[in-house]
Structure 1
Amino acid sequence: MIPLREPATARPGTTFHRMLERIRYEGAYSTRERAEEVTRAVLAALGRQLTGEERSDLAACLPAEAALVLTGQSPDPRPLTGWGFVKDLATRTGGTPATARWDTGAVLAAVADLAGPDLLDRVLARLPSGYALLFGRAELIQAA
């Protein structure tokens, strides 16, 4: 059987170190260790929300260390909206919602770049409302 589409794969040369350096720069984190801590927390939270082919395809776009964090989580049976995602992350990390929103934006901007627009469209279609802004995109709402 021939697959209808090729699964996404990590961009050549994309290492976990490079991903962390981008997140460190985007998030203005003072150390690589802080960027890694934030990255792991956000990817774990995303791994609890994302299911299906989109989860495995997204993992294939990420460096191995990041993919393991994303897929190492059991999906949460209660899907969270984008704002719920941020509040849950703040609770789990002991931070504020504002800090969690900042951290989420820094990490998910890098993830969106690695995923590319087609896969990101599919990921956003799988998640509840409110995630587009977290990935650095406008939230499109269909008219009733």
Structure 2
Amino acid sequence: MHMTWEAFLAAVRERGEYSSRQEAERAARVVLGLLGAHLVGEERAQLAARLPETYALILLNPLQAAEPLDPERFVRATAAWIDGATEETAKWDIGAVLSVVADAAGDDLMGRVLLQLPPGYDLLFGRPQPT
């Protein structure tokens, strides 16, 4: 399943309740840019293949993270990249973007992606895993 750019952005905009497409687009670029730095190998390639090309390229050429960020630091990093953002609004941005990513990925791939990420990312994706 491959989402179009319009469908992906519309879903992010709806979940984030953004007033403009630009806001949804900015959130998507930052969140995917940070996420991409945390994923490697086949999972990253497969996830990219399910996203619109614009966002697939961001995931594959990510913003550099020196080390894997735990969920709290991921939220802070997102806030730092978005003008005027706070940690609260960044959490909202992350949830809007990553829940759409999770839908595009499907359960099987999502499970494998979460194995590559520090604990707690399941909540950022809106996919709480049984402990």
Q: SS at the partner of 1:49?
A: coil
- Alpha-carbon distance, 1:93 to partner: 1.9
Instruction: Indicate the RMSD between aligned Cα atoms, in angstroms.
Output: 1.4
Aligned equivalents of 2:14 and 2:63: distance in 1?
Answer: 30
The 8 Å contact of residues 130 and 139 in structure 1, kept in 2 or not, is answered as no
Q: Residue 73 of structure 2 corresponds to which residue in structure 1?
A: 84
- Alpha-carbon distance, 1:110 to partner: 0.4
Tell me whether 1:28 sits opposite 2:2 in the alignment.
no
Tell me whether 1:127 sits opposite 2:117 in the alignment.
yes
Aligned equivalents of 1:75 and 1:89: distance in 2?
Answer: 13
Aligned equivalents of 2:119 and 2:130: distance in 1?
Answer: 9
- Alpha-carbon distance, 1:77 to partner: 3.7
- Alpha-carbon distance, 1:41 to partner: 0.9
Higher Cα radius of gyration: 1
- Alpha-carbon distance, 1:75 to partner: 5.1
- Alpha-carbon distance, 1:76 to partner: 2.6
Matched ranges for 1:65-84 at <5 A:
65-73=54-62, 76-84=65-73
Q: Deviations over 1:115-140 (max 9, x none)?
A: 00000000000101110001101144
- Alpha-carbon distance, 1:64 to partner: 0.7
Q: Residue 3 of structure 1 corresponds to which residue in structure 2?
A: none
The 8 Å contact of residues 42 and 104 in structure 1, kept in 2 or not, is answered as yes
Unaligned runs of 5+ in 1: 1-10
Q: SS at the partner of 2:37?
A: helix
Q: Which of the residues 94, 105, 111 maps onto 2:101?
A: 111
The 8 Å contact of residues 30 and 78 in structure 2, kept in 1 or not, is answered as yes
The 8 Å contact of residues 81 and 130 in structure 1, kept in 2 or not, is answered as yes
Unaligned runs of 5+ in 2: none
Q: Residue 62 of structure 1 corresponds to which residue in structure 2?
A: 51
Matched ranges for 1:37-56 at <5 A:
37-56=26-45
Aligned equivalents of 1:43 and 1:96: distance in 2?
Answer: 18
Pair 89,20 (structure 1): closer, same or farther in 2 beyond 3 Å: same
Q: Residue 4 of structure 2 corresponds to which residue in structure 1?
A: 15
Pair 133,21 (structure 1): closer, same or farther in 2 beyond 3 Å: same
The 8 Å contact of residues 50 and 75 in structure 1, kept in 2 or not, is answered as no
